[in-house]
Structure 1
Amino acid sequence: MPRFIPAAALAAALTLSACSGPGASTSDASSIAACQGSSSRTTVAVADLPPPPPPAPPQTEPSYSSVRGQNAALDAAAGAYNEARFEDAATQFDAVADAPGSNAQVKRVALRMLGRTRLALGDRDGAADALRRLVENEPPMVRLDPDVEPLALLEAFYQVRRDVDGDYAVRTDRDRTLAIADFTNGSITDFDAVDPLRLGFASLMIDRMRGSTELELVERVRLQWLLDEQNLAATQEGGRQAGRLLGADQVVFGTYIKNGDDMLLTARVVDVETGRILMGERVEGRASQFDALVSCLSELVAESVDARLPAAPTAQTAPESLDAVIAYARGLALEETEDFAAAAEQYQLALSLDPSYEPAQLRMDEGVVPMMAANN
């Protein structure tokens, strides 16, 4: 049965006009389906597409901007944090979190920001304590935003969850949990230049699939943290073992191959319990169209686990810069080693290549700048 990219992705893909391929699952790479670039293929009208899924429940903790102006003490603490007066900010966030008159959202923002502040002061135990207090305020479930939080704070949160819950399983109210591993670089040309995309493509796929009401997505940094924590190899078997510990139903393993101006992306969805390959697909096109390729592949992955994705970006949205994504992925890798100055340089490079590239701006503002200020 033919599979089609949503109309917005069709317009962006240029030579990619439809996702098509055999519906049967297979482990044979030779029968992996393709997203072929043929402008003569029949496409579907917007009216013929299935309706988008209903809005997903909130996926991350409330941001400070959502409660700004509601609590003067919180505003003062945020001001101290932004000015890198971290000792003052920690005292003030702590007071707001303990104040009997603070509403639930204000307290949760204060505790999350206290965790960040303690981390900026080099106090990892204090950061973990703030996150533990945050978890004690559940429900709703605590979900930190992996796109904005310092990576060290995310790792502290994962350990807190392990200690509080007694296992590594992701707590969720969604139908199934899907983990997406870092991609493998199989490029024929420009291997070293595009190697950072191992991290970048996993992040792009997670971003594309985020918002599905059926799926709990395991952020790539959580999967990598667990691989390191358990000394598991970054292989399919290691990914399966980590997925089992995380309570994932399936794990996605991807590969990308750049050959001159062309790019091939493949993905296989592996059942955690049985090891059976539920889906093997590939999409190919011009490397400059990588965002449409990722979108197409994400649709196929979602279909294989009976999930629907939110509407794709509008056709008017400019394609992302491949070089910007590479710089962003380099920044992620450097941030994971806590080389914040070098990470900032890569995020700034990404923004110089694509000033509208929001992920790089978020990581600069939220994840890196406070840590750099703390180290100065």
Structure 2
Amino acid sequence: MKKEIPLSVPNLDIETLENLRECIESGWVSTGGRFIAEFEEKTAKYVGVSEAVAMQSGTAALHTALRVLGVQSGDEVIVPTLTFIAAVNPVIYMGASPVFMDCDDTLCLDAEKLEQFCEEECDLVEDELRNRRTGNKVAAVIPVHVFGNLCDMERIMEVAQKYHLKVLEDATEALGSYYKKGRYAGCFAGTIGDMGAYSFNANKIITTGGGGMLVSNNKKLLNHARYLGVQAKNDTLYFVHDEVGYNYRMLNLQAALGVSQLDQLETFIKTKIDNYNRYKKRLNQAEGLRILEFNDESRTNHWFYSLLVGEETFGESRNQLMHRLIDEGIQCRPVWKLIHTQRPYLDCQAYKIEKAVDYAEHILNLPCSTNLTEEEVAYVCDRIQMK
């Protein structure tokens, strides 16, 4: 009998209704209310920073972070090509230009090529990195912790410090991932660079329906971000505004969901890891299939699972397998189309993109919801192997 198995859906507890009821009964359903501050405090405590700022979305968090980090029109920002486009669009919002970087075997930004680009394609002039090709200032780098896997932040931070780059960690997929070894042992994704951003979109490991969060160990940056997110309002009575701000504040209704969801995060991560291991045990035995590993020097949240499909040995291409599974009710998807090949970014510089091309052609993301059962994992594996 055909089963319908979604790719990644929210896992909401009925107890959340109590928080939502309080919002409705009190009338605090918009950008004020106690749950916003509580969600900020709980998130900051969980990841080990002093403060956090709740935002309307992960994209809003990234945009605001670029603004407070001082990225200006005409600057360049180094970004990965293998990521969701929301990690890159805020660069354009600022009037800056992206420079696209390849991925390594974790699917995250290649730290070695990042250093090569800074050394071979740029000059350090009066504490500013200048792109020789364009003459523009290279102001920042956005490492994205893809699918919850962790970038080589030790190497990235060394390069950033050497070349005076601001570091904005896109941890929108990596809430709960942390390093177990090295200089940043015990540090969570998003807490190492100048600022970090999380997302609580409906398909993330915890959700507020939408919403995001900014974290940093720099209170001045966070205070500026908080100010900009409420339309840069200086005086709530006389409506005085000293900067152009944004309507980027999280809703109290969203935060009410987040407070409840954050309490379940570690349980969700355990489920993610258990199901990943079940997929790995079954599918790695099949010729032409391999579940990509997560970084073994970190505890990752295992947000999305990546199946590498080798057409010649498996007997089906990635796309053939994907459409067969979709026809059978199993939702799955290819990894994102590389951003440097997308129409808005065709004229932007792309540096030695190689591995990302291969991974983009062969990766299939499998169902990974936090309420996915052991039986459903087995069913997906059975259907994959029934060529």
TM-score (normalizing by structure 1): 0.31
Bigger proportion of residues as helix: 1
TM-score (normalizing by structure 2): 0.30
